[in-house]
Structure 1
């Protein structure tokens, strides 16, 4: 099994498209203002947005994008006007993470984990 894509809700797909293009995702589907899909610049996963009439309360949606050059990317995005809730921070689970919200409040975590992404010291045998 392989993860194909993650889809997040949005009240304004066009506004979200601008946000995710700034993050570096490549727009590959935009057939109408209610749905769009991106390719991630690395790997084979896709990411999509669909329009909703109302966002659910406290959805808990968190989307993680791995970035090899996290600190440089965050600095670049700040210079593009993006606001971060958390600047790059080393976490106890051996990932380095920065956090921001997309226009609809979905939590976006840019991170670098290296080998610890799939093979952390606590991985089950």
Structure 2
């Protein structure tokens, strides 16, 4: 079996509000079925990302990683748009550089750059 990640769907309280947030991050809206659903494509790669309206939320359950080669510049640009980061770009011991923020519903987002270490870290099996 060969699996390829096609799409991730996350719960949000207000799909329309979340559309604005994810467009500000650079995702392109391709499906809008308000008030219940929206889907985006990333500017790089083939994966899609979608939102569905929900009132059921856990605590710290969803972590979403978006990779960007221009992490430092992207963080600065988002800060000028009012995005608040929990942590600014920092080299991690797992050899990824990461910045962390929350979406309007508290989902954990990590903007990062890993380069070759994304799939081929020195400790790869």
Give TM class, smaller chain: over 0.9
Runs of 4+ in 1 over 6 A off after TM superposition: none
Residue in structure 1 matched with residue 78 of structure 2 by the alignment: 77
TM-score by length of 1: 0.96
Residue in structure 2 matched with residue 36 of structure 1 by the alignment: 38
Aligned-CA RMSD value: 0.8
Q: Structure 2 residue aligned with 1:18, among 17, 20, 32? A: 20
Deviation at 1:33, TM superposition (A): 1.4
* Paired positions, count: 123
Deviation at 1:71, TM superposition (A): 0.1
Where in structure 2 are there 5+ consecutive unaligned residues? none
Deviation at 1:53, TM superposition (A): 2.4
TM-score by length of 2: 0.96
Deviation at 1:14, TM superposition (A): 0.8
Tell me the distance in 1 between the aligned counterparts of 2:65 and 2:55: 25
Tell me the distance in 2 between the aligned counterparts of 1:59 and 1:116: 25
Deviation at 1:59, TM superposition (A): 4.4
> Cα deviations across residues 13-38 of structure 1 (Å, max 9, x unaligned)?
11110110000000000022110000
Tell me the distance in 1 between the aligned counterparts of 2:22 and 2:99: 15
> Cα deviations across residues 36-93 of structure 1 (Å, max 9, x unaligned)?
00001100000000000232x3142000000110000000000010000000000000
Does residue 113 in structure 1 map to residue 114 in structure 2?
yes
